[in-house]
Amino acid sequence: MPGIYPKIIINFKAYNEGFGHSAHNIAKASEFVSEQSGVLIGVAPSYMEIHPISKHYEIPVYAQHVDAIEPGAHTGHILADAVRHAGAIGTLINHSERRLTLADVSGAVDAAKKANLQTVVCTNNIPTSAAAAAFSPDFIAIEPPELIGSGISVATADPAIIEDSVKAVKNINSNVRVLAGAGISTGDCVKRALELGADGVLLASGVVKAKDPEEVLFNLVSKI
Protein backbone atom coordinates (compact mmCIF):
# COMPACT_ATOMS: atom_id res chain seq x y z
CA MET A 1 0.00 0.00 0.00
CA PRO A 2 2.88 2.55 0.02
CA GLY A 3 2.16 5.16 -2.63
CA ILE A 4 -1.44 5.30 -1.46
CA TYR A 5 -2.23 8.44 0.46
CA PRO A 6 -5.32 8.80 2.65
CA LYS A 7 -7.38 12.00 2.78
CA ILE A 8 -8.37 11.31 6.36
CA ILE A 9 -6.27 9.70 9.11
CA ILE A 10 -7.86 8.75 12.43
CA ASN A 11 -5.45 8.77 15.39
CA PHE A 12 -6.71 6.39 18.11
CA LYS A 13 -4.23 7.91 20.66
CA ALA A 14 -4.41 6.02 23.98
CA TYR A 15 -8.16 6.45 24.33
CA ASN A 16 -10.10 3.64 25.98
CA GLU A 17 -12.11 3.42 22.77
CA GLY A 18 -8.85 3.01 20.81
CA PHE A 19 -8.14 -0.63 21.55
CA GLY A 20 -9.86 -4.01 21.54
CA HIS A 21 -13.38 -4.35 20.21
CA SER A 22 -13.99 -0.66 19.71
CA ALA A 23 -10.69 -0.24 17.78
CA HIS A 24 -11.96 -2.93 15.41
CA ASN A 25 -15.30 -1.14 15.11
CA ILE A 26 -13.57 2.09 14.09
CA ALA A 27 -11.28 0.27 11.63
CA LYS A 28 -14.22 -1.61 10.14
CA ALA A 29 -16.24 1.59 9.78
CA SER A 30 -13.22 3.31 8.18
CA GLU A 31 -12.92 0.50 5.65
CA PHE A 32 -16.66 0.56 4.89
CA VAL A 33 -16.88 4.35 4.52
CA SER A 34 -13.73 4.34 2.33
CA GLU A 35 -15.29 1.71 0.05
CA GLN A 36 -18.65 3.45 -0.13
CA SER A 37 -17.33 6.98 -0.67
CA GLY A 38 -14.08 6.40 -2.56
CA VAL A 39 -12.34 8.64 0.02
CA LEU A 40 -9.38 6.76 1.50
CA ILE A 41 -9.34 6.72 5.31
CA GLY A 42 -6.29 5.57 7.28
CA VAL A 43 -5.99 4.74 10.97
CA ALA A 44 -3.24 5.16 13.57
CA PRO A 45 -4.07 2.69 16.36
CA SER A 46 -1.94 1.70 19.36
CA TYR A 47 1.09 -0.49 18.57
CA MET A 48 -0.69 -3.60 19.81
CA GLU A 49 -3.51 -3.10 17.33
CA ILE A 50 -1.33 -2.53 14.25
CA HIS A 51 -1.03 -6.20 13.37
CA PRO A 52 -4.66 -7.29 13.87
CA ILE A 53 -6.10 -4.21 12.20
CA SER A 54 -3.78 -4.38 9.19
CA LYS A 55 -4.56 -8.08 8.82
CA HIS A 56 -8.35 -7.71 8.99
CA TYR A 57 -9.07 -4.46 7.15
CA GLU A 58 -8.09 -3.07 3.75
CA ILE A 59 -7.12 0.37 4.99
CA PRO A 60 -3.76 2.07 5.47
CA VAL A 61 -2.49 1.60 9.03
CA TYR A 62 -0.02 3.99 10.70
CA ALA A 63 1.97 3.80 13.93
CA GLN A 64 1.71 6.78 16.27
CA HIS A 65 5.50 7.11 16.64
CA VAL A 66 8.80 5.44 15.78
CA ASP A 67 12.17 6.03 17.38
CA ALA A 68 15.27 7.26 15.57
CA ILE A 69 17.07 3.94 15.95
CA GLU A 70 18.59 1.22 13.80
CA PRO A 71 17.95 -2.43 14.66
CA GLY A 72 20.16 -3.44 17.57
CA ALA A 73 20.53 -3.10 21.32
CA HIS A 74 17.74 -0.61 22.16
CA THR A 75 15.45 -1.76 24.95
CA GLY A 76 11.97 -0.28 25.11
CA HIS A 77 12.24 1.54 21.77
CA ILE A 78 9.93 1.42 18.77
CA LEU A 79 11.72 0.12 15.71
CA ALA A 80 10.44 1.28 12.30
CA ASP A 81 11.16 -2.14 10.75
CA ALA A 82 9.08 -3.84 13.44
CA VAL A 83 6.18 -1.46 12.79
CA ARG A 84 6.42 -2.19 9.05
CA HIS A 85 6.62 -5.91 9.74
CA ALA A 86 3.46 -5.70 11.86
CA GLY A 87 1.60 -4.32 8.82
CA ALA A 88 1.76 -0.53 9.13
CA ILE A 89 2.41 1.41 5.93
CA GLY A 90 3.45 4.59 7.73
CA THR A 91 3.92 6.38 10.99
CA LEU A 92 3.13 9.65 12.72
CA ILE A 93 6.23 11.41 14.02
CA ASN A 94 6.43 14.28 16.53
CA HIS A 95 2.77 14.36 17.52
CA SER A 96 2.00 17.13 20.06
CA GLU A 97 1.53 14.41 22.66
CA ARG A 98 4.84 12.74 21.66
CA ARG A 99 7.12 15.68 20.91
CA LEU A 100 10.71 15.15 19.72
CA THR A 101 13.75 17.37 19.27
CA LEU A 102 14.35 18.49 15.69
CA ALA A 103 17.34 16.12 15.53
CA ASP A 104 15.12 13.22 16.60
CA VAL A 105 12.42 14.20 14.07
CA SER A 106 15.09 14.02 11.38
CA GLY A 107 16.35 10.67 12.71
CA ALA A 108 12.85 9.21 12.96
CA VAL A 109 12.01 10.32 9.40
CA ASP A 110 15.21 8.66 8.15
CA ALA A 111 14.52 5.47 10.12
CA ALA A 112 10.93 5.33 8.80
CA LYS A 113 12.03 5.93 5.20
CA LYS A 114 14.65 3.17 5.45
CA ALA A 115 11.90 0.83 6.65
CA ASN A 116 9.74 1.88 3.67
CA LEU A 117 7.16 3.61 5.87
CA GLN A 118 5.24 6.73 4.88
CA THR A 119 6.05 9.62 7.20
CA VAL A 120 3.51 12.02 8.73
CA VAL A 121 5.38 14.69 10.68
CA CYS A 122 3.13 16.63 13.04
CA THR A 123 3.90 20.30 13.67
CA ASN A 124 2.50 22.98 15.95
CA ASN A 125 3.21 26.19 14.04
CA ILE A 126 4.36 27.59 10.70
CA PRO A 127 8.15 27.71 11.35
CA THR A 128 8.07 24.09 12.54
CA SER A 129 6.08 23.11 9.45
CA ALA A 130 8.73 24.76 7.26
CA ALA A 131 11.58 23.10 9.19
CA ALA A 132 9.92 19.68 8.93
CA ALA A 133 9.31 20.13 5.19
CA ALA A 134 13.07 20.19 4.71
CA PHE A 135 13.15 16.52 5.79
CA SER A 136 10.84 15.68 2.83
CA PRO A 137 8.27 13.63 4.70
CA ASP A 138 5.20 12.34 2.82
CA PHE A 139 2.93 14.51 4.97
CA ILE A 140 3.11 17.38 7.40
CA ALA A 141 0.17 17.55 9.79
CA ILE A 142 -0.32 21.00 11.25
CA GLU A 143 -2.15 20.83 14.59
CA PRO A 144 -2.33 23.84 16.94
CA PRO A 145 -1.96 22.18 20.38
CA GLU A 146 -4.47 24.46 22.08
CA LEU A 147 -7.24 23.22 19.77
CA ILE A 148 -6.42 19.50 20.01
CA GLY A 149 -9.27 17.65 21.69
CA SER A 150 -11.16 20.92 22.15
CA GLY A 151 -13.98 20.20 19.72
CA ILE A 152 -13.20 23.60 18.16
CA SER A 153 -12.14 23.15 14.56
CA VAL A 154 -8.78 24.52 13.41
CA ALA A 155 -10.45 25.17 10.05
CA THR A 156 -12.72 27.82 11.58
CA ALA A 157 -10.72 28.92 14.68
CA ASP A 158 -7.35 29.37 12.95
CA PRO A 159 -7.71 29.15 9.16
CA ALA A 160 -4.52 31.20 8.67
CA ILE A 161 -2.35 28.51 10.25
CA ILE A 162 -3.54 26.04 7.60
CA GLU A 163 -3.16 28.44 4.70
CA ASP A 164 0.26 29.70 5.85
CA SER A 165 1.56 26.21 6.66
CA VAL A 166 0.56 25.01 3.19
CA LYS A 167 2.43 27.97 1.64
CA ALA A 168 5.51 27.46 3.85
CA VAL A 169 5.65 23.71 3.21
CA LYS A 170 5.03 23.85 -0.56
CA ASN A 171 7.60 26.62 -0.83
CA ILE A 172 10.24 24.27 0.51
CA ASN A 173 9.04 21.03 -1.07
CA SER A 174 5.93 20.97 -3.24
CA ASN A 175 5.72 17.15 -3.00
CA VAL A 176 4.93 17.23 0.71
CA ARG A 177 1.20 16.85 1.42
CA VAL A 178 -0.31 18.89 4.23
CA LEU A 179 -2.92 17.59 6.65
CA ALA A 180 -4.79 19.88 9.03
CA GLY A 181 -5.80 18.67 12.48
CA ALA A 182 -7.34 19.66 15.82
CA GLY A 183 -11.03 19.74 16.54
CA ILE A 184 -12.07 18.37 13.14
CA SER A 185 -15.35 16.50 13.43
CA THR A 186 -17.66 17.26 10.50
CA GLY A 187 -17.80 17.31 6.72
CA ASP A 188 -17.89 21.12 6.85
CA CYS A 189 -14.55 21.19 8.76
CA VAL A 190 -13.00 18.87 6.16
CA LYS A 191 -14.36 20.92 3.27
CA ARG A 192 -13.03 24.15 4.80
CA ALA A 193 -9.59 22.60 5.44
CA LEU A 194 -9.38 21.46 1.81
CA GLU A 195 -10.48 24.92 0.60
CA LEU A 196 -7.64 26.40 2.67
CA GLY A 197 -5.17 24.26 0.72
CA ALA A 198 -4.82 21.17 2.91
CA ASP A 199 -4.60 17.80 1.19
CA GLY A 200 -6.52 16.10 3.99
CA VAL A 201 -7.14 15.96 7.73
CA LEU A 202 -5.81 14.20 10.83
CA LEU A 203 -8.27 13.75 13.67
CA ALA A 204 -8.94 11.75 16.79
CA SER A 205 -11.67 12.41 19.36
CA GLY A 206 -14.41 13.33 16.87
CA VAL A 207 -14.38 9.74 15.59
CA VAL A 208 -12.71 7.68 18.33
CA LYS A 209 -14.98 8.96 21.11
CA ALA A 210 -18.14 9.08 19.00
CA LYS A 211 -21.11 6.87 19.91
CA ASP A 212 -21.41 5.94 16.24
CA PRO A 213 -18.01 6.31 14.48
CA GLU A 214 -19.47 5.17 11.15
CA GLU A 215 -22.02 7.99 11.15
CA VAL A 216 -19.28 10.56 11.89
CA LEU A 217 -17.06 9.09 9.16
CA PHE A 218 -19.86 9.32 6.60
CA ASN A 219 -20.40 12.91 7.63
CA LEU A 220 -16.65 13.67 7.33
CA VAL A 221 -16.51 12.49 3.70
CA SER A 222 -19.89 13.96 2.73
CA LYS A 223 -18.57 17.23 1.27
CA ILE A 224 -15.39 16.06 -0.43
Which residues fall in the annotated binding site for substrate?
11-13, 148, 183, 204-205
State yes or no: is 65 an active-site residue: no
Q: What does DSSP assign to residue 65?
A: -
Q: How many other β-carbons are positioned within 10 Å of the β-carbon of residue 212?
A: 11
Q: In what order do the strands lie in the sheet with 41-44?
A: 41-44, 8-11, 200-203, 177-181, 139-142, 118-123, 90-93, 62-63
| Binding of ligand 13P by 149 (CB under 6 A) | yes
Residues 78 to 137: which contact ligand 13P by CB under 6 A? 95
| Binding of ligand 13P by 140 (CB under 6 A) | no
State yes or no: is 143 an active-site residue: yes
Where on the phi/psi map is residue 149: left (φ > 0), alpha (ψ -120 to 50), or beta? left
Q: In this chain, which stretch among 65-73, 74-82, 169-177, 203-211 interacts with ligand 13P, using CB under 6 A? A: 203-211
Residue 90 backbone dihedrals phi, psi, to 5 degrees: -165, -175
**Pattern 165-184, ligand 13P, x by CB under 6 A:** ----------------xxxx
Please give the residue ranges that form the binding site for ligand 13P (CB under 6 A): 11, 95, 143, 148-149, 181-184, 202-206
